[in-house]
Amino acid sequence: MTAAGSWRAGGISWGVKELRYIVVTGGVMSGLGKGITAASIGRLLMNNGYKVTAIKIDPYINIDAGLMSPFQHGEVYVLKDGGEVDLDLGNYERFLDVELTRDHNITTGKIYSTVIDKERRGEYLGKTVQIIPHITEEIKRRIRQVSREGGCEICLIEVGGTVGDIESMPFLEAMRQLKYEESGNIFFVHVTLAPSTMDGEQKTKPTQHSVKEMRELGLQPDMIAVRCEKPLLPETKSKIAHFCDVPIEAVISCHDAQDIYKVPLQLDQEGLTRYLMKAMRLFPLEERRDWADLVRKMDAQREPVRMAIVGKYTSSSQCTDAMEDAYLSIREAIKHAGIEAGLLPQITWIDAEELEAGAPEIVLRDFDGILVPGGFGSRGTEGKIKAITYARERKVPYLGICFGMQLAVIEFARNVCGLENASSTEFGPTPHPVIALLPEQENIRQMGATMRLGNYPAHLKKGSLAEHIYGTTEIVERHRHRYEVNPAYIQLMEKAGLIFSGTNGDLMEIAEILDHPFFFSSQFHPEMRSRPNRPSPPFLAFVQAMKARKDRMAQAPISA
């Protein structure tokens, strides 16, 4: 069994204790909220003084999420070491206030690639390489390594997909083995579904069949977290407990919540923390109230401000929650900033392609701020540039992120500096490549490393808006991009009023306009380091700038 430091209680060390594992699986259907459930469990344990980390297992064969379409899979979340991962890792970082690494995301592609490489190097000494034991041993090795190196006391393991999927079988088998190897220190939470009929009856058969399938794989849930529209009725809980062989206290109602940040407190009220800690022989080490304070601030009366997000994954005709997941971290960073500022940002998603054919003075006239997020490729760029022009000329607060900064540079080069058809070499030949791959990047591209990924430092100019926002001249933020501002055009644009106030050597990190109430754009993704109790400084400044503009507009005289 794995040691994890000393047992802490009341300032007294009780000797070496053993690491606990909590495995979260899902049944019936995907998208039930395993990630939020797991993150909420982690937050509740943190509230009781425990050090928690998280591992997300994705059964897909991709090595990572870097090449996945945002339409199909939501945003690609970037970790500090440059790992491109599933968006659930972002929820873990926000809920647990930790910084994870690429090793915290295990995929089928990673496992098979490692095992095949070992086989080619002869590490298996001529043995026949099989799912059991070689694949399952590699899965367990990675889990233990991450847990040990993270210095945690409790490790959450979310197994993606649903029980019964072919892709998940090796991972569930590894969990079965781990159950016996870590006997007494491992706890299984199964997230399932209890749909309601038209007359409100809660049906338990989907849950029963899902648990039956788990048992056939040698796994018995210790707790069943039941997703449902309304709180589980006592008779529903009793029936699930009876047929699924768990105590009634271990049947937890995971009914719909107004906001994901309310889920931990809701689960705590359902008795999850009390039962889980009792079953795992844990006791409270401290009582943290910061999450409850966050929810109180979130529920407080807040003044609305209106913002437009002009993106390429937000078709207004079909903008569902799933499509908004393409910008999940941005949405959460806006929420964090609003809570801190005492404001309620109201987001309207605007499709950049539709704006290309529309009139921005009509589409954008009712907003207090405009945000252009990241993206790749030329589709929708002219619509985004129209939005940037409107924000610059009408003095509307503007926040550009990654591609949103590059397009702000292109817009300024065209419409202020007079560089006709200025563009990015990403889109093809251009007479004025104000955005381009730098010469040193061309060499890197030949070796296959085409993007700047993960944490990079930046130096901020004294007296700049950037320094004012961050309160320092040295920052670290996360990146995910290929192309850079072309140094050959920097002097021309700065002379015209576009100031590059954040730099990393010859790389431009932040661009701002001097004679504008708030025009701030970054090559990095500040949203990925935003936390519920610690909002990203650019996002906080952006929502505050929207409030300032709203107040100015309210005081402005109405023209005849």
Contact 345, 337 (CB under 8 A): yes
Distance of alpha carbon 430 from alpha carbon 452, whole angstroms: 23
Question: Which residue is catalytic, options 75, 426, 477, 527?
Answer: 527
**Low-confidence winner among 147-151, 345-349, 421-425, 428-432 (lowest mean pLDDT):** 147-151
- Whether 527 sits among the annotated catalytic residues: the reply is yes
Split at pLDDT 50, 70, 90, the class of 6 is very low
DSSP letter (8 states) at residue 133: I
Dump pLDDT digits (tens) for 74-104.
899 999 999 999 999 999 999 999 999 999 9
Mean pLDDT across the stretch 343-369?
Answer: 93
- The full DSSP string for 248-301 is GGGEEEEE--SSGGGHHHHHHHTTHHHHHHHHTT---S----HHHHHHHHHHS-
Say which of 190, 432, 479, 525 is annotated catalytic: 525
Helix, strand or coil for residue 111?
A: helix
Between 66 and 187, where is the model more confident? 187
Peptide bond into 373 cis (omega under 30): no
Of these residues, 93, 402, 467, 484, which one is catalytic? 402
Structure tokens at 41: 């469990």
Statement: residue 15 has pLDDT above 70: no
- pLDDT level of residue 453 (50, 70, 90 thresholds): very high
Tell me, yes or no, if 525 is annotated catalytic: yes
Split at pLDDT 50, 70, 90, the class of 199 is confident
Q: Which pLDDT score is estimated for 549?
A: 96
Tell which wins on pLDDT, 6 or 374: 374
Strands 452-460 and 474-481: antiparallel
What's this model's pTM, rounded to 2 decimal places? 0.92
- If one compares 12 and 294, the residue with the highest pLDDT of the two is 294
3-state DSSP percent of the chain in helix, strand and coil, to 5: 40, 25, 35
Q: What is the mean pLDDT of residues 220-234?
A: 96
3-state SS class at 216: helix
- Asked whether the predicted pLDDT for residue 16 surpasses 90, the reply is no
Q: In sequence order, what DSSP letters do the residues of 426-468 get, joined into one string?
A: GGS--SSEEEE--HHHHHHHHTT--SEEEEEEEEE-TTSHHHH
Residue 405: pLDDT band (50, 70, 90) is: very high
Q: Is the pLDDT of residue 246 over 90?
A: yes
C-alpha radius of gyration, the chain, whole number? 25
pLDDT-derived band at 559, boundaries 50, 70, 90: low
Q: What whole-number percentage of the chain has pLDDT above 90?
A: 81
The rounded mean pLDDT for the chain is: 91
The answer to whether 139 and 106 are in contact (CB under 8 A) is yes
Q: Please spell the DSSP secondary structure of 358-406, one letter per residue.
A: S-HHHHSTT-SEEEE----SSTTHHHHHHHHHHHHHTT--EEEETHHHH
Identify whether 402 is a catalytic site residue: yes
**By the 8 A CB rule, do 19 and 151 touch?**
no
List the 186-193 sheet strands across, edge first. 105-107, 52-58, 154-159, 20-26, 186-193, 223-228, 251-255
Sign of the C-alpha dihedral computed for residues 54, 59, 64 and 70 taken in this order: negative
In the chain the domains, ranked by start, together with CATH numbers, are 20-293 (3.40.50.300), 301-548 (3.40.50.880)
Q: Where residue 211 falls among pLDDT bands split at 50, 70, 90?
A: very high
Alpha-carbon distance 120 to 153, whole Å?
36
Q: What are phi and psi of 188, to 5 degrees?
A: -110, 125
Q: What pLDDT sits at residue 321? A: 52
- Residue carrying the six token digits 């690639």: 113
Per residue in 406-429, pLDDT tens? 999 999 999 999 999 999 999 999
Average pLDDT estimate for 230-246? 96
3-state secondary structure 351-371: EHHHHHHCCHHHHCCCCCEEE
Residue 527: pLDDT band by 50, 70, 90 thresholds? very high
pLDDT band per the 50, 70, 90 thresholds, residue 438: confident
> Burial level of 509, CB count in 10 A (0-12/13-18/19+)?
buried
Q: Which residue in the block uniquely carries the two structure tokens 């500096």?
A: 417
